[in-house]
Amino acid sequence: MTAGGAPAFASVVLDVDSTLCGIEGIDWLAEKRGEAVALQVAEQTDKAMRGEIPLEDVYGARLDLARPSAADISELARAYDISLAPGARDAITAWRASGIRVLLVSGGIRQAILPVAASLGIPDEDVHAVMIHLSPGGSYAGFDAASTLATATGKRDVLARLSLPRPTIAVGDGVTDLAMREHADVFCAFTGFGERTSVTGQADVTAGTFAELSRLVLAAP
């Protein structure tokens, strides 16, 4: 803790895919459509997260290939829970107990992220992600194309319109996360599931585990 016992940060903004959890949700869904689709979607995801192409150029195309059903999204929710980063649950519990506001800001599927958020004690209103549209029969019917989170700068824009307690630390692994640096006091590149030099090279700090991240957040010795 800092002088006087206060945490170093009043708000923590977490990415989900490859940060809070060890999978890329849309890539995971694409694997259900066969190897060729999985490889195509994974390549598009990686290029977008490295900043080689804008996310908005591939967001809808990836979902058109994966075409997740209601059942697929329920399975993804379970996969998120299973792949939760080691130490993440304990870290988030400690942050919330210290009065820190914890938010999830993701370009992933909101319906799949909400259950893991609830299990971590994070309220629905602090989960920002992209809604998927489903037909009455549960088949894929598109996504919320108006969501800024389907764009390269969407996370930055979400953070800009939130009135978060300061100081704020934003945490993620991709360039869409790095964009939050403009409206956060500190940006931390999370490298626990992979490292992108285009992100770590511009980050204020890095963390490879949630234990390390928690020491930053709580300013623990």
CA–CA distance from 78 to each of 9, 53, 62, 81, 116 (Å)? 30, 30, 21, 5, 8
User: Quick one: tokens of 104?
Assistant: 């999830």
Active site residue 15: yes
Catalytic residue among 17, 27, 72, 177: 17
**Cα 126-171-94 angle, rounded to 5 deg:** 65
Torsion of Cα atoms, 130 then 188 then 184 then 158, to 10°? 0
Catalytic residue among 15, 27, 72, 173: 15
User: Quick one: tokens of 25?
Assistant: 């949700």
**Residue 53 burial class via C-beta count within 10 angstroms: exposed 0-12, middle 13-18, buried 19 and up:** middle
Catalytic residues: 15, 17
